[in-house]
Structure 1
Amino acid sequence: MTLIELEQIIATRAKASPEESWTAKLLAKGPEKAAEKFGEEAIEAIIEAVKGDTAKLTSEAADVLFHLLVMLHARGVSVADVMAELAARQGQSGLAEKAARPKS
């Protein structure tokens, strides 16, 4: 499965009834809840990475990718948008790219 295919699945599920779809139920709670869920999954992946349990890390990484795409969908950001940003950074060292970011 590709990220584009997963994005399409999420878009389809988003149109379903919240009583029938976990994705629709999560999205119905708003973008903030989708972001919170993504954060929870990211923390769980970090824990498994530190523990060194590759099977659990694989499972948690799948949850992270899924919930990242749900969060992006909630804010109207596409995988294509993200890939375009990555492409714009291509050919630039990571250190140079980070240094060029505006200070917040």
Structure 2
Amino acid sequence: MTLEKLAATIAARKGADPETSWTAKLLAKGPEKCAEKFGEEAIEAIIEAVKGDRARLTAEAADVLYHLLVMLAARDVSLAEVLAELDRRDGTSGIAEKAGR
């Protein structure tokens, strides 16, 4: 599954019944709850990265990507917009990009 396909699935679930879709249930709770859930998953990924368990880190990283896309959808930010921002930064030093903010 590509990120684009996952993002499209999440977008399609925005109007789904929260009783039948985990994504719809998350989105129905609002952007703040989606952001909280993303944060929880990010912390879990950090813990697994520190522990060095590759399989668990892989699983948690997948959760992080999913919850990032849900959080973006909750605020009507598309994956295409995020990818366009990454394209804009392509070839720019990370240090220079940070200094420009």
* Structure 1 stretch displaced more, 3-12 or 49-58: 3-12
Instruction: Give the total of aligned pairs.
Output: 101
1:27 maps to 2:20: no
1:79, 1:11 → 2: CA distance?
10
Gapped runs of 5+ residues in structure 2?
none
Q: Which residue of 2 aligns with 1:83?
A: 83
Distance 2:26 2:3 in 1: 19
Partner residue in 2 for 1:52: 52
Structure 1 residue 95 corresponds to structure 2 residue 98: no
Greater shift in the superposed pair: 1-10 or 45-54: 1-10
CA RMSD of aligned residues (A): 0.7
State percent identity of aligned pairs: 74
How far is the alpha carbon of 1:53 from its aligned partner? Answer: 0.3
Structure 1 counterpart of 2:23, one-letter code: T
Q: TM-score, normalised by structure 2?
A: 0.97
> Which ranges of structure 1 fall in alignment gaps of 5 or more residues?
none
1:13 is displaced (CA, Å) by: 2.1
**What secondary structure, in the 3-state scheme, does the structure 1 residue paired with 2:63 have?**
helix
Which residue is equivalent to 1:36? 36
Q: TM-score, normalising length from structure 1?
A: 0.94
Give the Cα–Cα distance (whole angstroms) in 2 for the partners of residues 9 and 95 of structure 1.
Answer: 35
